[in-house]
Amino acid sequence: MNQELAVKRLGELGHGTRMSVYRLLVKAGNNGLAVGDIQERLKVSGPTLSHHIHRLIGAGLVRQERDGRTLYCFAELEALKDVVTFLEAECCTL
Amino acid sequence: MNQELAVKRLGELGHGTRMSVYRLLVKAGNNGLAVGDIQERLKVSGPTLSHHIHRLIGAGLVRQERDGRTLYCFAELEALKDVVTFLEAECCTL
DNA sequence: CTTATATTTCGAAAATTGTAGAAATATCGA
DNA sequence: TCGATATTTCTACAATTTTCGAAATATAAG
């Protein structure tokens, strides 16, 4: 994990809506959560939610799988764990 | 640690220059680092550096102490540790 | 094939962020 | 007091981000 990637992931999680999306996905676990379900829980428009989800995907923090008309989203837990490892190693006294 | 504060801190660290500043300060430890020394290491103008340092201060991640004409900056390690604790507790499977 | 559902892409406006030159402030030393 | 050093504040501009309505795409069901 290099600084550039860690910074990118931190930046994406440094936004209330995206953090809320990520936490919902973590809680949803292996079942994942449909985009529509996320939208129902957080109150944000479809286009806005889609935008944020795609930023999370771009940072490797979220993955999607389609099932028919429904797109399920999943948290990429390893991606966040790598960030935490980076922070502990590089930012907590050296 | 609530989500709002965690998000704020994550957002501030989600910027290359600010992350570099923070890491330099962590490495500097109890001696801290003068603003001028930071500026010498990272290549960025005074006003820009000042701006970023003040954002880190606003998030509680950095503290300053003046000694004569020199302003020393210090990393607030506990602030980051709290963020890490938040991430581990809230974002790594529940 | 037509309609309904799920989600994205397009396009555009408002807000925020990042940047640095110029000027201002703070402190020291002569 | 005057000049030098350290840093900030002011100001303004460019770039990015955030947001969402409208239109487009994808898939399923009838």
- Give the class (CATH, top level) of B3-91: mainly alpha
pLDDT band of residue B21 (cuts 50, 70, 90) is: very high
Beta carbons within 8 Å of B40's beta carbon, 6+ residues apart: none
How far does the CA of residue A22 sit from the closest CA of chain B (Å)?
A: 7
> Cβ of residue A48 near strand D, that is under 7 Å?
yes
Region A34-55: what's the mean pLDDT?
A: 97
Share of chain B above pLDDT 70, in %: 100
In 3D space, the residue among B16, B19, B17 whose CA is nearest the CA of residue B83 turns out to be B19
Q: Which of A4, A26, A87 sits opposite B91 (nearest CB)?
A: A26
pLDDT in tens, B65-77: 999 999 999 999 9
Find and list the nucleotides of strand C having atoms within 7 Å of a protein beta carbon.
4-11, 17-23, 26-29
Looking at every residue in chain B, the average pLDDT score rounds to 97
Mean pLDDT of the region B19-41: 97
- The residue of chain A nearest to residue B93, with distances taken between CA atoms, is A26
pLDDT score recorded for residue A57: 98
| Contact with chain A for residue B67, Cβ under 8 A | no
- Residue spans of the domains in chain B: they are 3-91
Distance from residue B33 (CA) to nucleotide C25 (C1'), in Å? 21
- Give the helix, strand, coil percentages of chain B, each rounded to 5: 65, 15, 20
Q: What is the pLDDT of residue A94?
A: 75
- pLDDT tier at B59 (50, 70, 90 boundaries)? very high
Q: What does the pLDDT read at residue B84?
A: 97
Q: What is the mean pLDDT of residues B40-62?
A: 97
Phi, psi torsion values for A18, nearest 5 degrees: -65, -40
Host H or E run for residue B75: strand B70-75
The residue of chain A with its CA nearest to that of B79 is A92
Distance separating alpha carbons of residues B54 and A58, to the nearest angstrom? 29
What does the pLDDT read at residue B1? Answer: 94
pLDDT band at A91 (very low <50, low <70, confident <90, very high): confident
Q: Are B80 and B61 in contact (CB under 8 A)?
A: yes
Best CA proximity match to B92, nearest among A22, A72, A10: A22
The pLDDT of residue A43 is 92
ipTM over 0.85: yes
pLDDT of residue B93: 85
| Phi, psi for A67 (deg, rounded to 5) | -135, 100
The set of strand D positions with any atom below 7 Å of a protein CB reads: 4-11, 17-23, 26-29
pLDDT at B91 over 90: no
Residues within 8 A of A (CB atoms), B 45-64 only: none
Q: Does B23 touch chain A (CB under 8 A)?
A: yes
- Report d(CA B38, CA B46) in Å as an integer: 10
At the top level of CATH, the class of A3-90 is: mainly alpha
